[in-house]
Homo-oligomer: A and B are copies of this chain.
Amino acid sequence: MVTIKDVARLANVSIATVSRVVNNYTHVRPAVREAVTKAIAELGYRPNGLASSFRTQQSNIVGVLLRQQRTPFSSALAYAIENTMFDQGYRVLLCSTNGDADREEAYLNTMLEMRVQGVIIRPSAATPRTIKQVNLLREQGIAVSFVDMKPKIAAVSSVVCDNFSGGYQGMRHLIELGHRRIGVAAGSVAQKGGAADVGSERARGIRQAAADLATDVEIIWSPPFDIASFEIGREIGDVMIRANPDMTAIFATTDMLAIGVMHSAHALGLDLPGDLSILGYDGVLESSVTFPTLSTIAQPIHEMGQLAATTLIDHMRGVSKSPRQVVLENTLIQRASTIPLP
């Protein structure tokens, strides 16, 4: 493998000069610069990134820690982050934890050891273990930024959507359409309404809208569940629809859930949206793909990723030291699955 020494020898200069040319510093005579460039081309020299990373202790790598990778939300997020990072010269180490705490720990360890310059985390949950790991990262001077979850640790940046407002908007939409008996498919955590996490914020918005906007709204909560998948949506929908024949709308807190609910409604012979309006949440790809097309509360996923990336970059470059907590707005996308009550 050809090193900087070989180039120096061929160009008849010192290795320091070659280094200066490679990193195009100032203070190199044009003639010399050209000679070095020529030698580089001739030898096919390529700087050893392992060596320069080592010397500068800068890896130019950022870790992106996601709990899942297969969901459209996660991959859209990863894509947005990677794109933004690429343009700024950073490369992305993909770390999907799969919800496995051991694996999360292993990845955080790797990141610590390979001296990543920053980490973007969308955590499984803000467990004490995660918090500890994150603090460890920050002690080592590694910039950290959360996405889609506002951590309890004060001094760390985050980008989240206003899930309260999203829930509120969705509920308002259904209420304005005249619906009064409204099913809500929300996970088990959400319903308890304790922690300030994504699901329970949405649920809180939903409750609030119902309280604010009409006196006669009845919310029918789904049975609790853990994973917001298509299959769960189908089960939930089946149970709720059977038990509540007078329910006229269902607000599902995830698009995949909503699609599942749609399937169950179809299976039970309901006409959509005539017999039942359905509203989703997320705005992922599948939304536009159902019959009828799915109304949904869309999250600006790309913007989330982009902002998380630029925030992290600012921290890494020392441009901005103080944490920045960004809250983005969700927007209602009205399609064909929600209609006014006759």
Could you tell me which A residues sit within 8 Å of B by CB distance? Answer: 1, 46-51, 53-54, 57, 59, 61, 64, 69-70, 72, 74-76, 78-79, 82-83, 86, 91-96, 98, 103, 106-107, 110, 112-115, 140, 230, 259, 262-263, 266, 285-286, 288-291
CA distance A75 to B70 in the complex (A): 6
A93 close to B93 (CB less than 8 A): yes
* Additional A-B contacts beyond A1-B140, A49-B114, A50-B50 (16; CB < 8 A): A47-B113, A48-B113, A50-B57, A50-B114, A69-B78, A69-B79, A70-B76, A70-B79, A83-B96, A86-B103, A91-B93, A91-B110, A263-B289, A286-B286, A286-B289, A291-B291
Given contacts A47-B113, A266-B291, A286-B289, contact A79 B96 (CB under 8 A): yes
- A94-B76 Cα distance, complex, nearest whole Å: 13
Q: Could you tell me the distance in whole angstroms from the C-beta of A49 to the nearest C-beta in chain B?
A: 4
What distance in Å separates the Cβ of A299 from its nearest Cβ neighbour in chain B?
A: 15
Interchain CB contact under 8 A, A114 and B53:
yes
- Contacting pair A113 B79 (CB below 8 A): no
> Are A50 and B115 closer than 8 Å at their CB atoms?
yes
Q: Which residue of B lies closest to A106 (CB)?
A: B86
Q: Chain B residues with Cβ under 8 A from A49's Cβ?
A: 110, 113-115
- Which chain B residue has the least Cβ–Cβ distance from A72? B72
**What is the bound-complex CA distance between A68 and B78, given in angstroms?**
12
- With a cutoff of 8 Å between Cβ atoms, the chain B residues found around residue A106 in the complex are 86
Q: Closest approach, in angstroms, between the C-beta of A296 and any C-beta of chain B? A: 14
Q: Do residues B291 and A290 form an inter-chain contact, with CB atoms below 8 A?
A: yes
A230 contacts which of B64, B70, B98, B289 (Cβ < 8 Å)?
A: B289
Q: Which 4 residue pairs across A and B have the least CB separation, nearest first? A: A75-B75, A54-B54, A49-B113, A49-B114
What residues of chain B lie closer than 8 Å to A46, measured between beta carbons?
112-113
Given A53-B114, A291-B266: A69 and B93 interface contact (C-beta under 8 Å) = no
- Smallest Cβ-Cβ distance to A47: which chain B residue: B113
Which B residues are CB-close (under 8 A) to A79?
69-70, 96
CB-nearest residue of chain B to A55: B54
Please give the distance in Å from A85's CB to the nearest CB on chain B.
10
A3 CB to closest chain B CB (Å) equals 12
In the bound complex, CA of A107 to CA of B89 (Å): 10
In the bound complex, residues from chain B placing their C-beta under 8 Å from that of A94 are: 64, 78, 82, 92-94
Q: Which residues of B contact A75 (CB under 8 A)?
A: 69-70, 72, 74-75, 78
Instruction: Please give, as numbers and ranges, the residues of chain B lying within 8 Å of A69 by CB-CB distance.
Output: 75, 78-79, 82
- Interface centre among A48, A286, A289, by most chain B C-beta atoms within 10 angstroms, is A289
